[in-house]
Structure 1
Amino acid sequence: MENQNGNSKLKAIIAILAILLVGSLIYIFKLTSDAKTLETVVSTTKSEKDDVMKDLEELKATYDAAIAENTSMSDELIAERDKVTKLMAELKTAKGDAASLRKYKDQYKQMEQKMRNLMQEVEVLKKENQTLTTNLDSTKVVLEDSKKYNQVLVGQNEELAKTVEKGSKLSVTNLKTAAYKQRSSGKQIETDKASRTDLLQISFTIAENAIAKSGDKVYYVQVIDAKNNVLGDKATISFGETSLTYSFTTTVKYENKTVNVKEQLPGKDFAKGTYFVNVFDKGELVSKSSFTLK
């Protein structure tokens, strides 16, 4: 009887221990399962956080590239990039729970859409700038061509002006000088003897010129004897830095037709030797000749 009671108690203890063992195993299994689930959640959360951070880094890189192009939207692009940079800094210190990640994901999506809109504006602006640059280049080419053409015209006009100026100058030709003896009767007899000479007759021709300016023309005639003396008036006049001592002047009424000019220079005691005759239009020598008295 006592043995039966002892066996019953033993069986009861074994049953209790078995139940406790099964309970412990179930509890341990649950703890292990919860730990794996938590590890999976933590791992997934960390991966999602890294993905959001990567997306934000790419967004920032896009803004950096756009800002480097130095468009007129640079200030707005910089402001949006700074917002991305600030969000990245907040994400680094965030707890990483699901609710927090959802908030950062939503902010990223908003920023990404803003970036897309800005990039579209940038592209439009770049195309407009490219078109403007092309137009400016075309305008520059046209202006350069016009400038070159104007320079050619200016050069041609200057050459034409020089040609006209040169062509409008009167040509003095056939400069001749003859010596004469003056008789009491007034008759003049040509001579080549210095001792018989009473006057010199100087003549020249002003050629016809249709483009020359008509009107009175003053010529300065200079006669230099064999002793290098200027005969006649011996008057001096200045033309700029040049001075001229002349024998006499002659004024010619010029009307674009050929004009023959003849003037006389009286004197006495003419020296033997070679004489030089020069005709000046203001300070410019326009004709010269020489003759000899014996």
Structure 2
Amino acid sequence: MMTEKKNNTALKILIGVLAVALIALTIYTIRFYNEEKENKAILQKEKTAIENELNELIVKYDEAIDENEIMDQNLVDARERINRLLDSVQDYEANLVLITRYRREISNLKAEKERLFRVVDSLSQQNQRMAMTIDSTQTELSEKTRLSDSLQSSNQSLANKVNKASQLKITGLRGEGVIVRNSGKIVENDRTRRIDQIQTCFTITANDLSEAGEKNLYVQVYNPENELVGDKIAVEHDGGVMVYSAQSTVYYENDELDVCILANTDKEKLLEGNYKVYVYNDATLIGTASFSLR
């Protein structure tokens, strides 16, 4: 009886201990579950924060790539590494080991971003300085080109003036019908049925700007029907062929020089009326006049 009583007492104690242990285990299990739940929430929150940081880095790289052409490939490579890390974060469930690794990699990526962006900023500033230098150089070049063009234009204008001033000039130009005697004496006559030739006379003025030497002089004589009177001498010039009534070569020494040029006549073309005379030095017209025959 005594033994049975002791056994009952021991059983009750054991049951009490087990009950206490069960209660403690239940409390521990509930607490562990709650802590695990809280840890998962914290890790998930940390994972979301990491994703947001990675997305912000990607946006900054996109903006930098759009604004800079100097280091596009370096920036693109860095952005691709961030994209791959973001995909890894999204694919795996958050745990303390991964979160720690991701945080370390984000820290490295941020340091790389700062380094790359400093280089990009430095290169951009160099480009801006270079662009300013180029603009200044182009402005200076444009100004020099403008001055050069202006000088060329002035020089050309001066050359044209000098060239014009150096051309032969004549005065006292006149045309007339003449009779040539057997003795060589020339007598002026204005009757068409009597004249033998048409004479053109003029004076080349003194001109120190003209080049001294032989000068080719040509005369055109046109009758009232605008027909060329004379030998019809064809001469090739730079601008083409010109036909003249007569020609003569004189030696000019920059002083006044009297010149007379005779043009043969064709009786059929000697008409009553007004005649026109044109005098040329090579292909340059240097004088014109008119006269009448009856």
TM-score category, normalised to shorter length: 0.7 to 0.9
Distance 2:167 2:76 in 1: 74
The residue type paired with residue 292 of structure 1 is S
Closer, same or farther: CA 124–267 of 1 in aligned 2, 3 Å = closer
The residue type paired with residue 288 of structure 1 is T
Distance 2:14 2:186 in 1: 179
What residue in structure 2 maps to residue 281 of structure 1?
Answer: 281
How does the TM-score come out when normalised to structure 2?
A: 0.80
Query: Which is further off, 14-23 or 163-172?
Result: 14-23
What residue in structure 2 maps to residue 245 of structure 1?
Answer: 244
Deviation of the 1:206 alpha carbon: 0.8
Query: Which is further off, 261-270 or 216-225?
Result: 261-270
What residue in structure 2 maps to residue 88 of structure 1?
Answer: 86
The residue type paired with residue 291 of structure 1 is F
Q: Secondary structure at the match of 1:205?
A: strand
In the alignment, does 2:105 pair up with 1:107?
Answer: yes
The residue type paired with residue 280 of structure 1 is Y
What residue in structure 1 maps to residue 260 of structure 2?
Answer: 262
The residue type paired with residue 208 of structure 1 is A
2:234·2:241 contact (CA, 8 Å) conserved in 1? no
Q: Secondary structure at the match of 2:250?
A: strand
Distance 1:206 1:40 in 2: 119
Distance 1:190 1:93 in 2: 121
2:180·2:187 contact (CA, 8 Å) conserved in 1? yes
Distance 1:65 1:98 in 2: 32
In the alignment, does 2:166 pair up with 1:168?
Answer: yes
Distance 1:13 1:188 in 2: 176
The counterpart of 1:56, out of the listed 51, 54, 69, is 54
2:231·2:263 contact (CA, 8 Å) conserved in 1? no
Deviation of the 1:286 alpha carbon: 2.4
Alignment of 1:192-203 (within 5 A): 192-193=190-191, 197=195, 201-203=199-201
Query: Which is further off, 154-163 or 34-43?
Result: 154-163
1:201·1:265 contact (CA, 8 Å) conserved in 2? yes
In the alignment, does 2:57 pair up with 1:35?
Answer: no
What residue in structure 2 maps to residue 218 of structure 1?
Answer: 216
Deviation of the 1:23 alpha carbon: 4.4
1:197·1:268 contact (CA, 8 Å) conserved in 2? no
Q: Secondary structure at the match of 2:209?
A: coil
Query: Which is further off, 64-73 or 75-84?
Result: 64-73
Query: Which is further off, 251-260 or 190-199?
Result: 190-199
Distance 1:95 1:266 in 2: 119
Which runs of no fewer than 5 residues in structure 1 stay unpaired? none
Distance 2:117 2:12 in 1: 77
Alignment coverage as a number of residue pairs? 290
Distance 2:45 2:168 in 1: 102
The counterpart of 2:205, out of the listed 201, 204, 207, is 207
Query: Which is further off, 173-182 or 70-79?
Result: 173-182
Distance 1:9 1:228 in 2: 164
2:174·2:201 contact (CA, 8 Å) conserved in 1? yes
Closer, same or farther: CA 30–169 of 1 in aligned 2, 3 Å = same
Closer, same or farther: CA 111–135 of 1 in aligned 2, 3 Å = same
Query: Which is further off, 210-219 or 17-26?
Result: 17-26
Closer, same or farther: CA 17–291 of 1 in aligned 2, 3 Å = closer
Aligned sequence identity (%): 26
Distance 1:95 1:41 in 2: 13
Distance 1:123 1:30 in 2: 57
Distance 1:11 1:111 in 2: 69
1:206·1:258 contact (CA, 8 Å) conserved in 2? yes
Closer, same or farther: CA 140–197 of 1 in aligned 2, 3 Å = closer
